[in-house]
Amino acid sequence: MLRNDLVLRALRREPCHRTPIWIMRQAGRYLPEYRAVRSKTDFLTLCKTPELAAEVTLQPVDIMEVDAAIIFSDILVVPEAMGMPLEMIESAGPRFPSPIRSRADIDRLIEPDVSQALRFVENAIRLTKRELRERAPLIGFSGAAWTLFAYAVEGKGSKDFKHAKKMIFSRPKDAHDLLRKLNRVLTNYLLLQIEAGADAVQIFDTWASLLSEDAYKEFSLQYIHETVQTVKLKHPKVPVIIFAKGANTLLRDIAETGCDAVGLDWTIDLAKARWELGDRVTLQGNLDPTILYASPERIREHAAFILKKFGEHTDTSGHVFNLGHGILPDIEPSHLKALIDFVKIESAKYHQNMQTAPSMN
């Protein structure tokens, strides 16, 4: 049994004595301990060596005392496992030197047995769970089909993702075939992570903001819906979080996929999001990551403001504190620690009006 299950309780909208916190990209370059491991190996080897992946996954639990670990990996291991060579160039970001453009490119992509092709993630999760010794839950994750599609078709990060956009608008049938293929594999990949021990999973739709509302529903949300339904059918108790960055006018549609929690970027007002979604789902977020550049005093002011925006907890409300996007690589670790320590203490006062006695772990 987990000694700290606050994140899971919050994701299930069960009473908590305080708001739990974890941080997107919490295992990463801002931590000197991460850089020490990373200096001896390249990024993809780190992802693919379970001992190293487990080591950096545990660092923020040990050092920052976050309430959950998230397995160290990259969303692009999925298209790589489908046959796309992947390059990780430090300064330039990830790159697929042979992006998917033609019908033949789509047909050539394989749908691997994920328990073979992505066994390194399964092993990293098993090892991390062992080394966590029930101190905190472990979150697994995948990119959404649309975000994987955007990278696979474009070949790299981009401002406009014009090749990806061209494909959906000019060849929607091809686009859907590719999205379906990606979605089948990533759904199996999420199931694999849960079967290996992941206590919750998050779907990252980083490039949600590229699409109009209708295009988002057609080219992304229907696939997320399918994934959530499949995961919940097999593992009804494992919480599923959806983080669709920038999709702030579609929060209700996202909540209707059947997920347990909706991740929010910092541009939506948390009070407004709670008002709009009620307590149908847990909300995760949403401090502006650049606030961590300010002094600990200012950070605490802004964090207090986020907690106040969410407001009083009820028996059926859920909030998981997080940033509105990944932590930036040049943040001072002591600033993040100040945030985490503060949220743990300050949030307690919003959890006092519940009917049920909250869990004290």
Catalytically active residues are: 25, 29, 38, 74, 151
**Calpha distance 313→292 (Å, rounded):** 26
> Residue 74 or 253: which CB sits closer to a copy of itself?
253
Pattern 260-279, binding to a copy of itself, x per CB under 8 A?
A: ------xxxx--x-------
Strands 200-205 and 138-143: parallel
What minimum distance in Å lies between the beta carbon of 189 and a copy of itself?
A: 28
Among 109, 240, 291, 323, contact with a copy of itself (rule: CB under 8 A): 291
Contact between 34 and 5 under an 8 Å Cβ cutoff? The reply is no
Whole-number minimum distance, CB 241 to a copy of itself, in Å? 20
Site for a copy of itself in 292-321 (CB under 8 A): 293-295, 298, 302, 305
When binding is defined by CB under 8 A, the residue of 9, 13, 25, 165 that contacts a copy of itself is 165
> Residues in contact with a copy of itself, total (CB under 8 A)?
35
Packing angle of the helix pair 172-196, 119-132 (nearest 10 deg): 40
Q: How would you class 151 by CB atoms within 10 Å of its CB: exposed for 0-12, middle for 13-18, buried for 19 or more?
A: buried
Q: Tell me the C-alpha distance between 98 and 309, whole Å.
A: 46
By beta-carbon proximity to a copy of itself, the closer residue of 83 and 326 is 326
Name which of residues 241 to 260 contact a copy of itself (CB under 8 A): 246, 248-249
Selection from 272, 268, 222 nearest residue 245 by Cα: 268
Is 209 one of the binding residues for a copy of itself (CB under 8 A)?
A: yes
CB of 267 to a copy of itself, least distance (A): 6
Per-residue tokens: 172: 């929607």
Stretch that binds a copy of itself, among 40-48, 127-135, 196-204, 323-331 (CB under 8 A): 323-331
146 makes contact with a copy of itself (CB under 8 A): no
Residues 6+ apart with CB under 8 A from 266: 285, 286, 287, 288, 289, 323, 324, 325
110 or 271: CB nearest a copy of itself: 271
Stretches 101-109, 212-220, 332-340, 349-357: which one binds a copy of itself (CB under 8 A)?
212-220
Among residues 91, 160, 356, 360, the one that binds a copy of itself under rule CB under 8 A: 160
| Nearest by Cα to 65 from 260, 251, 340, 350 | 340
Among 91, 214, 233, 236, binds a copy of itself (CB under 8 A): 214
Q: Are 146 and 165 in contact (CB under 8 A)?
A: no
Structure tokens belonging to residue 66? 């976050």
Could you tell me if residue 192 is left (phi over 0), alpha (psi between -120 and 50 degrees) or otherwise beta? Answer: alpha
Which chain residues interact with a copy of itself by CB under 8 A? 160-162, 165-166, 169-170, 209, 211-216, 246, 248-249, 266-269, 272, 288-291, 293-295, 298, 302, 305, 324, 328, 330
